Amino acid sequence: MKESQNIQGRNIAQRYNKYLKDRAHRTKTKSEDSFPSKLSSSRTSTTPAVKHRVESRSQARSSKYRLPNRQIHAKNISLKHATRLAKYAPIIQSASERYGVPIELICGVILQESGGNPRARSHCGARGLMQLMPATARRFGVKNSYDPAQNIEGGVKYLRFLLDRFNGNLELVAAGYNAGEGNVAKYGNKIPPFRETQNYVPAVLGFTKTMMKILKPVQLATVAEPALPSHARRA
Q: List, by residue number, the catalytic residues.
A: 113
Degrees (nearest 5) of the Cα angle 80, 83, 87? Answer: 140
* Number of helices and strands in the chain (H, E): 10, 0
Q: Which amino acid is at 84?
A: R
3-state secondary structure of 121: strand
Q: Are 77 and 22 in contact (CB under 8 A)?
A: no
CB neighbourhood size of 167 (10 A): 9
CB 12 within 8 A of CB 89: yes
Q: How far apart (Å, rounded) are the C-alpha atoms in residues 90 and 92?
A: 5
Residue pair 17/40 in contact (Cβ under 8 Å)? The answer is yes
Backbone dihedral angles phi then psi of residue 121, each to the nearest 5 degrees: -145, 130
Alpha helices by DSSP H, the chain = 2-26, 48-63, 79-86, 89-99, 103-113, 134-139, 148-165, 170-179, 181-186, 195-214
Q: How far apart are CA 127 and CA 154, in angstroms?
A: 12
